[in-house]
Amino acid sequence: MKPLYVQTSNCEAVELDGEWIILNTDEFTVTKLNEMGGFCWSLLSQSQSIFSMIEAIHDHYELDDNKAEQDMEAFLADMMKYGLVQNAV
């Protein structure tokens, strides 16, 4: 079974001119995401697998990227490191 990911509950987000600002209220950190990162963030309001997120990105942006899985793994690892995403149960 593939792991699922979801936003942590201690975060607030705002979109400004195509960029997203994520506030971690427990850690007092601010993380800035580009448009695609913000799209991924919005997907994570519900449990997602790496592959469901890649499929949504391909559908939304009409991309055909061979390294999408590697990029998504790196994105999720960073988001977990910053305390913004956790494993869904």
Extract the runs of DSSP E, i.e. beta strands, from 25-87: 29-33, 85-87
Domain boundaries, the chain: 5-83
Choose among 22, 42, 38: nearest CA to 30. Answer: 22
Question: How many whole angstroms separate alpha carbon 58 and alpha carbon 22?
Answer: 23
pLDDT in tens, 22-69: 999 998 999 999 999 999 999 999 999 999 999 999 888 877 667 788
Label residue 2 by pLDDT band (50, 70, 90): confident
